[in-house]
Amino acid sequence: MKQIFLFAIAALFFSNHANCQLGGLMKKIKNKVDQRVDNKVDQGIDKTLDKAEGKSAASAPPPATTGGQTPAKNEEPALNAFSRYDFVPGEKILYTEDFAQDALGELPTGWNSSGTGEVIKLDKFPGQWMRLHKSVSYLTANQKTFGENYTLEFDMILQFKNNGWMYPEIKFGLLSSKDELPDANAFLEDYTKYAAVTTSLFPGEFNSSKARLVSFANKESYFKGDPKSIEPLQNWWGQPVHVALQVQKERFRLWINDLKVFDIPKAVPVTDTMNQLRIEIAHTNYSERDYGIYISNIKIATGLPDSRHKLIEEGKFSTNGILFDWQSAVVKPPSYGVIKEIAAVLKDNGSVKVRIIGHTSSDGDDKANMELSQQRAGAVKELLVKEFGIDGDRITTDGKGETEPVADNKTKEGRAQNRRVEFIKI
């Protein structure tokens, strides 16, 4: 009986061009069949067995359409799950996009694409998201030069229903348009014309997901890395993952959630300055109802923050890198790198006391913003005390709401800059 199952599974995998590494797969399947016969414990092989036996396999929910729903597979990772995370965003926000002002069902204002894409809502997650489609390239509305030191962040949701086909390759990268417009049609295709660095994600099942980094200068290859395994990726299907990259001249670092995927000293060509984010979804045989790729909360910031110098020597450090859940004081996991850095400064300077001050943009009610900013300052203090062992007597908190803006609340970038947490030496 086991041999019959094994033969059926092998035929199914090969006929459907399954998205997995085939080396050693037959041995793995045999082990799983043994487990199935004995205990029926392995969920991944169970699905294939059910299919081979003609049973109706449970399938993933279809991706959301405008106003639709993408179920969450798991809750977002807890803050302490990011304990290895050392990403710190740039000082000044150049470009931000959460699609909040864009019409549902339309391509975002100022964006360019080679095909289609639309802004949607997802019932399980706040805010608005852009759905990306296969065989399409996208350019953002950014018009500013990044400089030589900068960071880029965005949230991404991957929703797949495994029908045996390979999942689409997902490319996101930086490019220089030099003296041309950064959203010009030419860069939808020929993005290597001047300078570019691109990460390709290859989502897969059976822990086969990989990432690869390549870069170009004047259409010539500048850096070409080997594929790197990112096994946790499949555990995050159906929930937001935070993608963050940091460039320091030629050095390129990339995180997906708390996993540091790349840290390459000489990956970025410095022949031309980057000024655009380009996203591309490759072709796939999956129908539109069987996959969903969504992005939101894009933020590009320039500069290298120096929390130690600013707090200890200048007496004040301000950051946009401490993130909170929507209209709440719950600190999001990608904030860990910034808070960890502040904790290190306080531990190294044991006599220093600080006041933490929360600030909001002008969005929402004035009174509610004041209360929210105070709660957020308190939440940061609590983390410093409980997670990092900082003496609570050294920290006081306050909230200013929207009363002390540092940028124009009429622009998206200005509002993002105003949503900040300050640390004042006292």
CB atoms within 10 A of CB 238: 18
CB under 8 Å to 350, separation ≥6 — which residues?
Answer: none
On average, the pLDDT of the chain sits at 85
- Which residue type, as a one-letter code, is found at position 338? V
Taking the C-alpha atoms of residue 128 and residue 133, their distance in angstroms, rounded to an integer, is: 16
Burial of 319 (0-12, 13-18, 19+ CB in 10 A): buried
CB atoms within 10 A of CB 171: 18
Instruction: Tell me the β-bridge partners of 120.
Output: 129
Please report which confidence band the pLDDT of residue 37 belongs to, taking 50, 70 and 90 as the band edges: very low
- What does the pLDDT average to over 13-32? 42
The pLDDT tens digits for 139-197 are: 999 999 999 999 999 999 999 988 889 999 999 999 999 999 999 999 999 999 999 99
Taking the C-alpha atoms of residue 270 and residue 118, their distance in angstroms, rounded to an integer, is: 34
State the pLDDT at residue 57: 35
Query: DSSP H helical segments within 262-411, as ranges?
Result: 307-308, 336-348, 366-386
Chain center to CA of 259 = 11
Q: Is 110 left (phi over 0), alpha (psi -120 to 50) or beta?
A: left
State the pLDDT at residue 306: 87
> Percentage of the chain surpassing pLDDT 90?
76
Please report which confidence band the pLDDT of residue 84 belongs to, taking 50, 70 and 90 as the band edges: confident
Greatest alpha-carbon span in the chain = 75
Cα angle: 117, vertex 118, 123; to 5 degrees: 130
Query: DSSP H helical segments within 138-226, as ranges?
Result: 186-189
| 307-425 CATH choice from 3.30.1860.10, 3.40.50.2300, 3.40.50.720, 3.30.1330.60 | 3.30.1330.60
- What does the pLDDT average to over 243-247? 97
Helix H or strand E encompassing 237: none
HSE toward the beta carbon, residue 276, CA cutoff 13 A:
32
> Percentage of the chain surpassing pLDDT 70?
81
Helices 43-52 & 25-38 angle (0-180, nearest 10):
90
Taking the C-alpha atoms of residue 363 and residue 376, their distance in angstroms, rounded to an integer, is: 16
State the pLDDT at residue 42: 41
- Least trusted range by pLDDT, from 2-11, 132-141, 286-295, 409-418: 2-11
State the pLDDT at residue 80: 64
The pLDDT tens digits for 257-304 are: 999 999 999 999 999 999 999 999 999 999 998 999 999 999 999 998
The yes-or-no verdict on residue 76 having pLDDT over 90 is no
HSE toward the beta carbon, residue 255, CA cutoff 13 A:
25
Taking the C-alpha atoms of residue 120 and residue 130, their distance in angstroms, rounded to an integer, is: 6
State the pLDDT at residue 64: 53
Q: Considering the domain 79-302 in this protein, what is its CATH number?
A: 2.60.120.200
The yes-or-no verdict on residue 101 having pLDDT over 50 is yes
State the pLDDT at residue 81: 66
Locate 34 and state its tokens. 């043994």
Taking the C-alpha atoms of residue 98 and residue 323, their distance in angstroms, rounded to an integer, is: 14
Give me the residue spans of the domains in the chain.
2-52, 79-302, 307-425
Please report which confidence band the pLDDT of residue 79 belongs to, taking 50, 70 and 90 as the band edges: low
Taking the C-alpha atoms of residue 294 and residue 272, their distance in angstroms, rounded to an integer, is: 30
The end-to-end CA distance of the chain, in Å, is 75
